[in-house]
Chains A and B, each alone.
Chain A
């Protein structure tokens, strides 16, 4: 059984773009299938749902939720020269694509995302972001036939970046921290004794409009949902404080609104009060940006009271997302408190 950080690394290294999460699901399943009191199933949308038996039945059933999928690429066409043309799965800015290594398909064929040399562009063209349709993946195949022996249209690709620590161990840097970091935390939450029964959903297709979570919200029948997401910390270089939305090093991010969901005000009060009482740093999400699986889940069945506890991550949807270890650990502390308190509501 992996520790929190070992699981984070293991999960991040597995390619799993939206709709193609099987390998991630299997890795999580292996971690949780033998945990005491855990009953685990996979639904038709590919969500992995764990029901954890606690010491007592809850007054409100709480569903904690993290998504397994990540943004990436999908091969659309192989041309006569053997280059792969592709589209993006999920929201990717073309400015983090050129000059990056990728791994293509189940066999993890190394590829390069190229474009014609900068020298061959006019001054104006050099400033314009490329369009994804004009880019291509080069797997070093000489011609269509050679490429087709290795890759098919529909194959996925992810950035080939290392999982590493930076800042002397202050932060992790990887692709897919959004939301394998949430997955690793919820695996941890399933370990040990729980005061009340609760459920965890590891969902699919979040990055393509939250299309996996509706099934999980329906079948888990929660009263309360807590979505655990890597959210955009806007405190990178050259940004004004007013644009941060949330910042690293300030603890879990608690949302009252985002682009997908207006959160339950009483639940927001409860979550923030519990953080304060337990001496856990937290920050409100100071801006309306992004959306998560709360959007479909809160509309499940007769309605689910939504809460979101997010991880402030910089540079999400890029090959080098970063997350502070202290924020990661403080989020786990808050989730452990919520596991004990929210079922009482």
Chain B
């Protein structure tokens, strides 16, 4: 499938951490042609493509959930107090349209901002999580009737192409990773695989990684590749702090990752003329790779990050060609892989 169409399809359904059902349904629909596809107890979508072979079983993981907010109470004037569900960028929340995902469907609202005219002469700060509230333009009675504590709230954004080969959407972290895996599975379809292969679109990454950890336990792979977004360069970043857009996968090196898998990925990128760059982390990766590496007796992990700008806002942005490059590198790894 065309990469941009695929991204659009993956990004459109909403799915905050722990409430990924709609996104999971779409993802399962896309995965099912590649193998037995089912939903894990924590909601992750698992696709068993091929059983373990030659002592190898590769797990491909990307997470389904996106950041959002969660309603904690309705106040006496009908405002819905909300708190972050995942590490939402607090600088980007004020002045946003939102949708409250209620039992009877999405309900529009806004998270406002005190206008400059009414601001007091005091030190300005970005909004604190405990100050966030949704204006539903409803009375307290009406709001309590429609909205329940625990309902999720999504900041409105939309999927669109932008500029020269980029896309933007609120859910690219990490549906873009899911797209990389689907591109790889598409490339591998009909090929004789030298190893076992499973794909997981995991839940709850933004709130502790429970979805991937438990799926990895159930599947017992010998090695895993994690595809997640990482920081793309912007004018306010320093060299070395980020990856470059359109320069291909950021191959991760971290104490949590298996050196052999990482080296192998770099070699395969070279031999297949796939552009690549390095992402060097001095500790944990901050992704599902940390969770998966600790499962059972341990799983050797590699990581391919997608350079992404504006993480954890509704304008997350990636380059379609980076997704395609990662898809090709995953396929090369599965076909010729195994760690060095």
Interface residues of A (CB under 8 A from B): 79, 81, 83, 91-93, 95-96, 98-101, 110-120, 126-130, 134, 136, 138-142, 146, 161-162, 164-168, 170-171, 173, 232, 234-239, 243, 245, 289-290, 314-320, 322, 324
Contacts and interface: CB of A to CB of B under 8 A. Distances in A.
A92 B115 CA distance: 8
A83 B162 CA distance: 13
Interface stretch (B50-58, B133-141, B295-303): B133-141
Given A79-B235, A289-B117, A168 B126 contact: no
Interface of B: 75, 77, 79, 81, 87, 89-92, 94-97, 108-119, 124-127, 131, 133, 135-138, 142, 156-158, 160, 162-166, 168, 231, 234-237, 241-242, 246, 286, 309-315, 317
Contact of B131 (A92, A139, A238, A320): A238
Contacts of A110: 160, 162
Contacts of B77: 235, 237
B109 A118 contact: no
Contacts of A79: 235
Contacts of B160: 110
B164 A164 contact: no
Given A114-B234, A127-B126, A142-B164, A166 B112 contact: no
A146 B135 contact: no
B185 to A, nearest CB: 28
B128 to A, nearest CB: 8
A166 B90 contact: no
A188 B255 CA distance: 68
Contacts of B165: 140
A171 B157 CA distance: 20
A54 B10 CA distance: 60
Given A91-B117, A236-B79, 16 more contacts: A91-B115, A92-B116, A93-B116, A95-B127, A99-B315, A111-B162, A112-B315, A126-B91, A128-B126, A136-B235, A141-B164, A170-B137, A314-B135, A315-B95, A315-B110, A319-B95
B309 to A, nearest CB: 6
Contact of B234 (A115, A243, A289, A324): A115
Nearest to A164: B108
A197 B304 CA distance: 72
Contacts of B236: 115-116, 134, 136
A118 B164 contact: no
8 contacts: A112-B309, A118-B89, A138-B163, A146-B163, A164-B97, A165-B108, A168-B138, A237-B81
Nearest to B308: A117
Nearest to A101: B315
A111 B91 CA distance: 18
A318 B115 contact: yes
Nearest to A112: B315
A93 B119 contact: yes
B97 A162 contact: yes
B94 A318 contact: yes
A112 B110 CA distance: 20
Contacts of A324: 137
B124 A237 contact: no
A129 B92 CA distance: 10
B31 to A, nearest CB: 29
A139 B162 contact: yes
A98 B133 CA distance: 18
Contacts of A234: 114, 118
A119 B109 CA distance: 27
A166 B231 CA distance: 35
B317 A138 contact: yes
A96 B95 contact: yes
Contacts of B237: 116, 120
Nearest to A320: B110
Contact of B136 (A114, A142, A167, A316): A167
Contacts of A171: 137
A95 B112 CA distance: 11
Contact of A118 (B79, B166, B311, B314): B311
Contacts of B113: 93, 95-96, 315, 318
Contacts of B87: 118-119
A169 B212 CA distance: 42
Contacts of B94: 93, 95-96, 318
A182 to B, nearest CB: 16
Contact of A99 (B91, B131, B142, B246): B91
A292 to B, nearest CB: 11
A238 B310 CA distance: 28
Contacts of B166: 140
Given A142-B246, A290-B117, A136 B157 contact: no
Contacts of B96: 99, 319-320
B91 A98 contact: yes
Contacts of B241: 116, 120
B231 to A, nearest CB: 5
B91 A91 contact: no
Contacts of A115: 91, 234, 236, 310
